[in-house]
Amino acid sequence: MPKVLFLPHKIILPQGGEFNANKGETILEIALKNNIKLEHACEQSCACSTCHCIIRKGFLSLSGWSEKEDDILDKAWGLEPESRLSCQAIIGNDDIEVEIPLYTVNYARDS
- CB distance 105 to 50 below 8 Å: yes
Q: What is the tens place of the pLDDT at every residue in 16-37?
A: 999 999 999 999 999 999 999 9
Distances (CA, A) of 46 to 23, 28, 40, 88: 20, 12, 9, 7
Q: What is the tens place of the pLDDT at every residue in 41-88?
A: 998 999 999 999 999 999 999 999 899 999 999 989 889 999 999 999
> Angle CA(46)–CA(16)–CA(79) in degrees, nearest 5?
40
Grade residue 104 by pLDDT with cuts at 50, 70 and 90: confident
- Which domains are assigned to the chain? 3-96 (3.10.20.30)
In this prediction, residue 110 carries a pLDDT of 43
Mean pLDDT of all residues belonging to the chain? 92
CA distance 91 to 27: 7
